[in-house]
Amino acid sequence: MASIPPPNARGRNMALTAAFLGWLFDGFEMGLFPLIGKPALQDLLAGTGDPSLISQGVDRWFTVIIATFLVGAATGGVFFGWLGDRIGRVKAMTFSIFTYAIFTGLCGFATEAWHVAILRFIASLGMGGEWALGVALVNELWTKGNRAWVAGAIGAAANIGYLLVAFLSLGMNNFLTSVQDIFASLGASQGLSDYLLHNQAWRFLMISGAFPAVLIFFIRLFVPESDKWEEEKKTGSTSHWSTPDLLGVLFGAVVAMIIIWAWSPMGVATPTATVITVVGFCAVVWGFLLPVRRYLQRSTAAGNMSEDMRRKVRSNLVIGATLAGIALLGTWGAAQQAPKWSTELASNGYSHPMQYTQICTALGATVFALLTPVLADILNRRLTYLFCCITAMASSIFFFRFNTQIDTNFFISAFLMGGLTASFYGFFPLYLPELFPTAVRATGQGFCFNVGRIIAAIGGLQLANLIAVFGGDGASKLQASASAFTVLCSVYLVGMILIWFAPETKGKALQ
C-alpha cells in the first residue's frame, strides 16, 4: 500500500495559522464573558422586581453559566476529539469553530438568562474541541525538530486572547464611542444603536463573537488533512468508532452538572456534596472514557492494535488527565483569581487594578507558554513538568502571601505567577500528542485536557468553603483569601510525585 506524502511547508504553515487563530479566539471568547456577563444578566433580569433579588439572581446565574461553560468545554473536548479521529482533523475543526462562533454570537439576541446558559453551553462544546483538534493536526503535520516552537505558539494563543480582552476592558469607553460613531455614519437608527450598545455593549460584543466563523472558509480552502490520519483511514481503523458510544459522553456531562450543582448555592450540605462528588466523578470518567474504551476493544479484536498498545493507551489516559487536572486546578486557584483578588488590596493610586493584573498575568502566560516546550526539548518531559510544578507553586504562594498593596512589585509578581502557572499550556501541546497513537490521538488529548476542566471546576467551587475555614469575614478577608488560594495551589505537590509515573517521551517519534 503506497504511503500518503506529507503536506508541503505551505500546508503546514496554514495548519499552524488556523490552529493558532482558533485557539486565540477561543481565549478571547472565554475571557469575554467575565467582562460582560454581569451587565448582560442585569439587563436580562431587570424585569424580575426587587433590585436586591436582581443582584442575587445575577450572582447565581453568573455561577451557573461559568459552571456550564466548564462542563460544556470538557464534553466538547471528548466529543470533537472523537469526531476528529473518526472523520478527520480538518472537518471536525471546522465544525468546532462553527459551533463556538455561531452560538456565542446568538447570545447577543438572548432575552432570558437561561437562553445565555444554554447557548453558552453549546458554544463551549466547540471551544473545548478546538484545542484537541488543532494540537493533533499541527503535531501530525510538523516535523519533530519544529514541534517545540509549534507547541509554544499554540499554548500562547489563548493567552493572547485573554490579553486582548483585558485591553478591551481598559479601553471600553473609547471603544463604545468609536462604535457609536461608526453606527451613526452607517445611518443606523438610534433604537438599534441603543439596543446593541446598551450596558457596556454586551449584545454587540456577543454578536461579534461570531466573527471566527470566517476561519472555516480559510480552513476548508487552505489547510490540508493530516497525512497520518489519512494513513489510519486507509487501514480501516477509523471505522471502529461507533456513534452510540457517545451516550457515555452525554451521561458524563449530565453527572458533571449534578456535581457542580451540589456545590453551588442552590446545592446540598457539604457531606452530601462530597459523596456526590466522589461517586459522580468516577461516573464522569467512566462516561467520557466509553467511546475510546469501546474503540480499543474493537480495534484490538480486528487486529489493528496490539494488546500491549491498548493497555498503554488506557494507562496514559488516566495519567494525562491527572497531570492536566493538576495544572488546570492550579491555574484556576491562582492566575484566574488574581484580577479579582487585586481589588481587595490597597490601590496606592493605581486605577483599574483588575485589568492591569490580567494584562500582567496574560503577558507572563504568553511568554512562558512559548518557552516551556523548548525547555522540555532541552531537558526532558518529566523534569520540565516537575520544574513547572515547583515554580508555579512558589510563584503563587509568593504572590498571595507577600503582596498587600498594588505597586510595582505586585505587577512583577503577577507577571511571574501568571507565566509560571500557565507554562503547562505550552507543555501539553508537546507532551499529550506523544502519549497516544494517531488513531486515538484527538480523543485521548480531548479526554485528558478536558477532564482536567471538571477537576478545576470542582476545585474552584471549594474556594468559598476554604475562605470561610480561614475566617474570611471583615478585615481578615484578604488574608483568608490568600490562605485559601495557597492551599488550593498546593495541588502542585501531587504533580511533583505523579510525573515520575508518566512515560518519558523525549526523542521518540509520534506513535
* Grid cell digits, residue 316: 496514559
Kindly list the distances between the CA atom of residue 485 and the CA atoms of 50, 149, 241, 332, 394, in Å, as whole numbers in the listed order.
34, 32, 42, 9, 12
- pLDDT value for 387: 94
- pLDDT value for 375: 92
DSSP 405: B
Q: Are 111 and 118 in contact (CB under 8 A)?
A: no
- The values of phi and psi at residue 127, to 5°, are -60, -40
- pLDDT value for 498: 93
Nearest to 422 by CA among 482, 362, 376, 359: 362
Q: Are 128 and 20 in contact (CB under 8 A)?
A: no
The secondary structure of the chain in percent helix, strand, coil, rounded to multiples of 5, reads 85, 0, 15
Q: Are 175 and 182 in contact (CB under 8 A)?
A: no
Residues forming a β-bridge with 405 = 346
What does the alpha-carbon distance between residue 413 and residue 62 come to, in Å, rounded to a whole number?
29
- pLDDT value for 261: 80
> Is residue 446 pLDDT above 90, yes or no?
no
* Grid cell digits, residue 505: 517521551
For residues 191-214, give the mean pLDDT.
82
- pLDDT value for 142: 77
- pLDDT value for 227: 81
Nearest to 333 by CA among 163, 481, 157, 478: 481
> Is residue 275 pLDDT above 60, yes or no?
yes
- pLDDT value for 193: 77
pLDDT band at residue 184 using 50, 70 and 90 as cut-offs: confident
3-class DSSP state of 355: helix
| Range with lowest mean pLDDT among 194-208, 289-303, 467-481 | 467-481
pLDDT per position as a tens digit, 362-378: 899 899 999 999 898 88
What does the alpha-carbon distance between residue 449 and residue 325 come to, in Å, rounded to a whole number?
7
- The values of phi and psi at residue 318, to 5°, are -70, -45
DSSP 112: S
For residues 224-242, give the mean pLDDT.
81
Q: What is the dihedral of CA 267, 451, 126, 17, to 10 degrees?
A: 140
- pLDDT value for 454: 80
325/332: higher pLDDT: 325
pLDDT band at residue 507 using 50, 70 and 90 as cut-offs: confident
| Range with lowest mean pLDDT among 46-60, 178-192, 336-350, 493-507 | 46-60
What does the alpha-carbon distance between residue 123 and residue 32 come to, in Å, rounded to a whole number?
13
Residues forming a β-bridge with 346 = 405
Q: Which of 400-409, 416-425, 483-492 has the largest mean confidence? A: 416-425
> Please, how many CA atoms are within 13 Å of residue 459, restricted to the half-sphere of its CB?
26
pLDDT per position as a tens digit, 30-76: 888 877 888 888 888 876 665 666 666 676 777 778 778 888 888 88
Report the greatest alpha carbon distance in the chain: 73
Nearest 5 degrees, angle CA 379-CA 384-CA 387? 120
What does the alpha-carbon distance between residue 407 and residue 384 come to, in Å, rounded to a whole number?
31
Q: Which amino acid is at 75?
A: T
pLDDT per position as a tens digit, 27-40: 888 888 877 888 88
> Please, how many CA atoms are within 13 Å of residue 316, restricted to the half-sphere of its CB?
24
> Is residue 341 pLDDT above 70, yes or no?
yes
Q: Are 122 and 68 in contact (CB under 8 A)?
A: no
- pLDDT value for 145: 61
Return the residue matching grid coordinates 442552590. 266
* Grid cell digits, residue 457: 471546576
- pLDDT value for 256: 86
pLDDT band at residue 109 using 50, 70 and 90 as cut-offs: very high
Averaged pLDDT of the chain: 83
- pLDDT value for 384: 95
pLDDT per position as a tens digit, 408-439: 899 999 999 999 998 998 899 888 888 888 88
- pLDDT value for 420: 93
For residues 112-129, give the mean pLDDT.
88
DSSP 226: P
Q: Is 219 exposed, middle or buried (0-12, 13-18, 19+ CB in 10 A)?
A: buried
What does the alpha-carbon distance between residue 456 and residue 330 come to, in Å, rounded to a whole number?
8
Q: What is the dihedral of CA 150, 155, 161, 167, to 10 degrees?
A: -100
> Is residue 237 pLDDT above 80, yes or no?
no
